[in-house]
Amino acid sequence: MRKNKLKKLFEVYNKYDSRTLFYKILRYSNENCGNLEAKKFQVSILRKFFDLKGWHINPFRAIKIDPKKIEYVQTGEPNTSQFDNNPKGRFHHEKPMILSSDWYRKTTSIKETKIYRGLKQRFEKNFSWNDTVLSPENYQLKHPNLRGKYARYDSNEFLRRGEHLDKLYNSLSERGYKNWMERNDSFFNELTLNIGPDGRLIRNSEGLHRLILARIIGFESIPARVLVVHPDFLKRKS
């Protein structure tokens, strides 16, 4: 894109709030760019806008984070206004916000989730998939942001899922943890985090299995994007 077009885009769109801005840029890039080019354009232009708006943590710049420091999963009440009526009780991954209230208290420890326990059983204790707590016969969903699919799998679907996770584990072990561009994926499929007032890191959406496998394998850092930040955290940082 030529510089004068980029400048014009800034002048026209800089008056909008972040949510409106995202959807306008999404529409523009989808209409004027190819698929992969559109993905990269969306992220690059949104990075620039949020840099100009002076956000302390740019939600469109991936950060490197120690996976062991991400200790919680967002488990708010589904379909409530606090979480924008999201049926999974989390924030929409396309809507970055600086948000007060007590949303950061509505979490579950990752170590208490069935996914964490099941992956530890499989990859540290060498359980068969059917003997893990992820088996459809054993799985009880406690919250819709904790992967309800396991409870709905039949035996064949579950074993195929297990084969996929075996391959993912081997790929991460052998080739390392790839970011969204290296996976030829979307930026919005990168692990998404929220930050509470005390600096607590909370997994909001995307990448839960990768996050837990990264902890098991022992990665010191993985890519993630920050979505929602409590304003008290920013006050502490300033």
10-residue averages of pLDDT along the chain (238 residues): 50 57 63 60 63 65 92 92 88 85 94 95 97 89 78 91 97 95 86 94 95 97 93 80
92 and 191 inside one domain: yes
Domain membership flag for residue 25: yes
23 and 126 inside one domain: no
Enclosing H/E stretch for 229: strand 222-229
Q: Which residue has the tokens 């970011």?
A: 179
Kindly state the tokens that stand for 23.
């959807």
91 and 197 inside one domain: yes
What pLDDT is stored for residue 73 in this prediction?
Answer: 96
Domain housing 48: 3-52
Enclosing H/E stretch for 108: strand 107-109
Predicted TM-score of the model (pTM): 0.81
What pLDDT is stored for residue 30 in this prediction?
Answer: 60
176 and 112 inside one domain: yes
Kindly state the tokens that stand for 181.
């561009």
23 and 85 inside one domain: no
105 and 129 inside one domain: yes
What pLDDT is stored for residue 2 in this prediction?
Answer: 42
